[in-house]
């Protein structure tokens, strides 16, 4: 992979990878580190992709794995942040409230909701990327929508309806 190709992919997908990492880590500094590590791994791997969507899927898989590794690490479990956990979304994020609500959900649920609504992946694609079954992904979407409705104070409780047009 050339530096020009990497620069193009960073410009195109940095924000997407960052938001996924933020959903996992709930911390801006860790999300930035994971994003940088994912792109660095892409550059070092020398992997060539036929289409940009393949590169995006690869970056998401690497970023998710790096987040999981970070969250499992002994250092991370027993360290305390230097500052308060920042829950504010990235500047300029028009869906900041929803993104911050996602950070309060369990890891699997927030990942599935983020990939489905923010990145427009299908249930089948999410299942492939996460290693879950399509049924599990569908269940996580349903549970996540239900929890977000409760957090948003939406008492209509219509099962199967879309949560919010803005998600």
| pLDDT on residue 88 | 44
| pLDDT on residue 114 | 84
| pLDDT on residue 40 | 93
Domains of the chain in sequence order = 1-86 (1.10.1740), 89-167 (1.10.10.10)
Can you tell me the distance from the alpha carbon of 129 to that of 147, in angstroms, rounded to the nearest whole number?
23
Can you tell me the distance from the alpha carbon of 22 to that of 5, in angstroms, rounded to the nearest whole number?
25
| pLDDT on residue 132 | 85
Nearest to 13 by CA among 43, 38, 47: 38
Q: What is the pLDDT along the chain (167 residues), one digit of tens a residue?
A: 788 898 999 999 999 999 999 988 888 889 999 999 999 999 999 888 888 999 999 999 999 999 888 888 877 666 655 554 444 444 444 556 777 777 778 888 888 888 888 888 888 888 888 888 889 989 988 888 888 888 877 655 444 444 444 44
DSSP string spanning the chain? --HHHHHHHHHHHHHHHHHHHHHHH--HHHHHHHHHHHHHHHHHHT---SSHHHHHHHHHHHHHHHHHHHHHSHHHHH---SSPPP-PPPTT-TTHHHHHHHTTS-HHHHHHHIIIIIS---HHHHHHHHT--HHHHHHHHHHHHHHHHHHHT-TT--TTS-S-TT-
């Amino acid at each position: 992979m050339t530096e020009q190709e990497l620069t193009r992919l960073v410009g195109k997908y940095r924000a997407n990878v960052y938001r996924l990492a933020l959903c996992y880590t709930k911390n801006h500094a860790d999300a930035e580190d994971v994003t940088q590590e994912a792109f660095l791994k892409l550059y070092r791997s020398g992997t060539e992709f036929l289409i940009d969507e393949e590169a995006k899927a690869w970056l998401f898989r690497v970023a998710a794995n790096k987040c999981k590794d970070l969250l499992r690490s002994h250092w991370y479990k027993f360290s305390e942040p230097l500052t308060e956990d920042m829950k504010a979304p990235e500047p300029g994020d028009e869906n900041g409230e929803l993104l911050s609500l996602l950070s309060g959900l369990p890891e699997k649920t927030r990942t599935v909701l983020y990939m489905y609504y923010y990145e427009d992946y299908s249930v089948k694609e999410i299942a492939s990327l996460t290693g879950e079954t399509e049924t599990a992904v569908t269940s996580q979407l349903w549970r996540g929508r239900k929890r977000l409705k409760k957090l948003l104070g939406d008492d209509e409780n219509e099962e199967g309806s879309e949560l919010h047009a803005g998600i």
